[in-house]
Amino acid sequence: MRDFYPEIEPYNTFYLRVDAVHQLYVEEVGNPEGQPVVFLHGGPGAGIFPGARRFFDPQRYRVILFDQRGAGQSTPMGELTDNTTQHLITDIEMLRQQLDIERWIVFGGSWGSTLALAYAQAHAERVVSLVLRGIFLGRQEEVDWLNGDGVGASWMFPERWQRYRDFIPPAERHDMVEAYWRRLTDPDAEVRLQAALAWASWEGSITTLVHDAHGDGVFDAADKAISLARAEVHYFRHQMFLQPNQLLRDIERIRHIPAVIVHGRYDMVCPAKTAWDLASVWPEARLIYTQAGHSSVDPETRSALIEAMDQQPR
């Protein structure tokens, strides 16, 4: 079982202005002369975290991590103007060009896997390889799994689901995404905050294999909750700004790119079938199921991701 590489601080941080509204927070860690890797965080809206730097051999890799539009330390926080999948793909290319990188490894988990696939399908010539975790393909059934009262995550975490569900009046529970959207855009700032906390607590509390039904979630801080909830509901309402089944339909564009898919067998945010569906149309990719949940820091998933990076061709 592989443990994280040691804690590491960025050797460079900066803000990249991508348009008149948005600035992205960017950091670089590892070896400035090393093999480039771009890290795509989940959510949308979750932002990067210090542990994300530790999947990579700091002697070998030049790792670029950034907060996507409206997330983390990017500004304005929680901003949804011109915030779509297509805008994020353009941002990744702008960042690559800004850093004078010809090609890079793309590493992404959860929503980051969605974005990695969409980016690679748009710019395959810029991708050396893909390392993907916790696959999310942006399909409606995947959104329903997490936010519906039928069979899905709600059946596995009923006490958590009840708190998430009970924030919404019974008459509106047939469409939780729209019900939360109404509150996340309410004129009252306190209503917006409480809706964000309820939304983020539900998702953030069911990510790990070992589950504490009464513990804090990973997104329970107010700033993280606001950026996550606003971005996720915005993207869910717009089908992730993807055409139906787009990422599976366009897999031929990237079948030649080496790829590793790591997915927790007991992932309750993005169920294991999602990774199976991707690997079924992409047999060249290597699929690894781990005894883990959704979180990248569950021990078996963490170990598999570090091994996948260590085994990348030089």
pLDDT tens for 46-79 read 999 999 999 999 999 999 999 999 999 999 999 9
Structure tokens at 116: 């990695």
Mean pLDDT of the chain: 95
What pLDDT, on the 0 to 100 scale, is given for residue 63?
98
Interhelix angle 176-184/222-237, rounded to 10 degrees, is: 130
The model's pTM? 0.96
Inform me whether the pLDDT recorded for 150 exceeds 80.
Answer: no
What pLDDT, on the 0 to 100 scale, is given for residue 4?
97
Q: Residue 242: how many CA atoms within 13 Å on its side-chain side?
A: 27
Q: Which residues contact 187 (CB under 8 A, 6 or more apart)?
A: none
Length in residues, the chain: 314
Q: pLDDT band for position 217 (50/70/90)?
A: low
Inform me whether the pLDDT recorded for 204 exceeds 90.
Answer: no
* Phi and psi angles of residue 167, each rounded to the nearest 5 degrees, phi first: -65, -20
What pLDDT, on the 0 to 100 scale, is given for residue 56?
98
> What is the average pLDDT across 79-101?
98
More confident residue, 151 or 96: 96
Q: What is the pLDDT of residues 4-21, one digit of tens each?
A: 999 999 999 999 999 999
* CB contact burial 94-133 (16+ within 10 A = b; e otherwise): ebbeebeeeebbbbbbbbbbbbbbbbbbbbeebbbbbbbb
How far is the C-alpha of 230 from the C-alpha of 252, rounded, in Å?
Answer: 33
Structure tokens at 152: 């899905």
- Percent of the residues in the chain that have a pLDDT greater than 70, as a whole number: 97
CB atoms within 10 A of CB 183: 21
What one-letter code names the amino acid at 158?
Answer: P
Domains of the chain: 12-139+243-310 (3.40.50.1820), 141-240 (no CATH)
Q: pLDDT band for position 151 (50/70/90)?
A: confident
Inform me whether the pLDDT recorded for 232 exceeds 90.
Answer: yes
Q: What is the pLDDT of residues 272-296, one digit of tens each?
A: 999 999 999 999 999 999 999 999 9
Structure tokens at 136: 């999310």
Q: pLDDT band for position 218 (50/70/90)?
A: low
* Phi and psi angles of residue 66, each rounded to the nearest 5 degrees, phi first: -150, 150
Q: pLDDT band for position 149 (50/70/90)?
A: confident
**Residues with catalytic annotation?**
110, 267, 294
Q: pLDDT band for position 222 (50/70/90)?
A: confident
What pLDDT, on the 0 to 100 scale, is given for residue 219?
64
Instruction: Provide the β-strand partners of residue 259.
Output: 130
SS3 92: helix
What pLDDT, on the 0 to 100 scale, is given for residue 258?
98
What pLDDT, on the 0 to 100 scale, is given for residue 216?
64
Sign of CA dihedral 302, 268, 167, 232: positive
Inform me whether the pLDDT recorded for 171 exceeds 90.
Answer: yes
Inform me whether the pLDDT recorded for 213 exceeds 70.
Answer: no
Nearest to 229 by CA among 19, 39, 47, 27: 47
Q: pLDDT band for position 107 (50/70/90)?
A: very high
Structure tokens at 18: 């991508």
Inform me whether the pLDDT recorded for 191 exceeds 80.
Answer: yes
What pLDDT, on the 0 to 100 scale, is given for residue 224?
85
The secondary structure of residue 75, as a DSSP letter, is B
